[in-house]
Amino acid sequence: MDKKQLKEILDNLYDDLIINDKEAINLASFISNSRKDKNSILRELYYNDNAPVKVLSTQFKGRGESDVTGEMIDVSIKYDEFLDRLEKRVNELISRHNRAMDVFFLIMSLPDPLCRLLYLKYFKRMTCDEVSVQLYISPSTFYRKLKDGEELLIKNINEREMR
């Protein structure tokens, strides 16, 4: 892992840790409901054109006039593509959450004051001045410790990935 990748993870640390559970739950629920909708639409397409007598019409329509196999296949394919995109989004959310958890645990395992500095900066989203006041350090010390903490974090992540 390089500094740019770490920075991206750290900048989104809080959001990825929390995932905004509502988003993941709503997305999973939407996928489930969409699967039911797909089955319902396919059933309606089939029964609408293949029933010997129309439910809303008394007119008989022969099978030769009502072949919708192609439509059903197209609807099924498009629904599957749609659901695959949604499932990829859920998997991405879960993957980012797991990665953020790993980084968060590594931050917590760093020696003090590096762990507190990184925690306040990236998890609590405090500014340099706020962290400096909280930890009783100068802004220049803040930036030096921030750099040291990020470098140690990269080293720990890379060691962990090598195992």
Q: What is the pLDDT of residues 25-36, one digit of tens each?
A: 777 788 888 878
Q: How confident is the model at residue 59 (pLDDT cuts 50, 70, 90)?
A: low
- Give me the phi and psi of 68, to 5 degrees please: -115, 20
Please classify residue 33 by burial: count the beta carbons closer than 10 Å to its beta carbon, then call 0-12 exposed, 13-18 middle and 19+ buried: exposed
Percentage of residues in the chain having pLDDT higher than 70:
82
Residue 94 CA to residue 16 CA, distance in Å, equals 9
pLDDT at site 57 = 52
Please check whether residue 135 is in contact with residue 125, taking contact to mean a CB–CB distance below 8 angstroms: no
Tell me the mean pLDDT in the region 103-132.
93
Task: Tell me what percent of the residues of the chain surpass a pLDDT of 90.
Answer: 33
CB-count burial class (<10 Å; 0-12, 13-18, 19+) for 14: middle
Q: Which of 20-24, 48-52, 82-86 has the lowest mean pLDDT?
A: 48-52
Whether 58 shows a pLDDT value over 60: the answer reads no
Identify whether the C-beta of residue 29 lies closer than 8 Å to the C-beta of residue 86.
no
pLDDT tens per residue, range 130-163: 999 999 999 999 999 999 999 999 999 988 888 7
| pTM score of the predicted model | 0.67
Helix intervals (H) in 1-138: 3-11, 13-18, 21-50, 69-109, 114-118, 128-135
What's the pLDDT tens digit per position in 109-118?
Answer: 999 999 999 9
* Cβ-Cβ contacts under 8 Å for 37 (sequence gap 6 or more): 79
> What are the phi and psi torsion angles at 60 (to 5°)?
-80, 135
